[in-house]
Amino acid sequence: MTNERRVLVHPDKQSLGASVAARFITKIIDVIEEQDYASVVLSGGSVSTLVLAAINRSEARDSVDWSKVSFWWSDERWVEADSADRNDKQNGIDLLDHIGVPAENVHRFGAVGDFASVDEAAAAYIAELKDFAQGDDESPRFDITLLGVGPDGHVASLFPDKPQVSALEPTVLTIADSPKPPPERLTLSLPAINNSQRVWMILAGAEKASSLGLALAGAGADQVPVAGVKGRKRTVFFVDQDAAAEVPEQLIASSY
């Protein structure tokens, strides 16, 4: 299948979350039926909470066989495992703690206290990605990657004008000076993110309109990292009306 890029616009933030949640459940069921497992990449931020909480509230939540779903992370803050700053901590509160997913299916980044340094934690995650890679790949071919996008166009912990954006290998990178606290982080590189079959980016709010418009107008990934994201099969921007303010009309899809 050739890669498709679509923008789906929703009236408001609440309908956006509900729509992505419903599509996620439907697609995960389809993927499991086709290949008997599914792999998902999660991220942090308010839109992640929006979507995961909506999945958890859905009456269709338990129609998914969660024992066949594995979870990975696009990035993580280099803090203690029980810190409220951890993406996986919030993702647990929003969804994972409620669905009975087996512990061995949850692939968390290492935390302060687990490893002597952030570099050791990165090396361990690289090894884990390779253990679950298909064929000669360096990382799994994730089935769905859910990403938020910052007002500056950053995705995961890949920030504008930082050298990590230009990494060419599907690997795990460390960040020492994140523009957003905490400063130390781990993140998948763009090639690792792009080894996803489907990348779903979720944007809400007028402050996201400029970066989305730039990305769709052909800006480079160095300037707007989200512009460098491209799933193997499909790349979808799920946005609310405010975030869609600068999207050219011809790029807005009527359906998924």
CATH number, residue 15: 3.40.50.1360
In a domain, residue 43? The reply is yes
Q: Tell me the per-residue pLDDT of 112-158, one tens digit each, with 9 for 90 and over.
A: 999 999 999 999 999 999 999 988 888 899 999 999 999 999 999 99
Say how many domains are in the chain.
1
In a domain, residue 256? The reply is no
In a domain, residue 94? The reply is yes
Tell me which residue has tokens 């909470």: 49
Asked whether the beta carbons of 7 and 239 are under 8 A apart, the reply is yes
Asked whether the beta carbons of 142 and 40 are under 8 A apart, the reply is yes
Confidence of residue 1 (pLDDT cuts 50, 70, 90): very low
In a domain, residue 182? The reply is yes
User: CA 38, CA 210: separation in Å to the nearest integer?
Assistant: 33
In a domain, residue 55? The reply is yes
Local structure of 16: helix, strand or coil? helix
In a domain, residue 92? The reply is yes
Local structure of 42: helix, strand or coil? strand
In a domain, residue 20? The reply is yes
Give which of 169, 203, 193 is closest to 47, Cα–Cα: 203
Domain carrying residue 53? 4-251
In a domain, residue 75? The reply is yes
Confidence of residue 2 (pLDDT cuts 50, 70, 90): very low
Local structure of 41: helix, strand or coil? strand
The pLDDT value given to residue 205: 95
Q: Tell me the per-residue pLDDT of 20-39, one tens digit each, with 9 for 90 and over.
A: 999 999 999 999 999 999 99
Average confidence score pLDDT of the chain? 94
Confidence of residue 229 (pLDDT cuts 50, 70, 90): very high
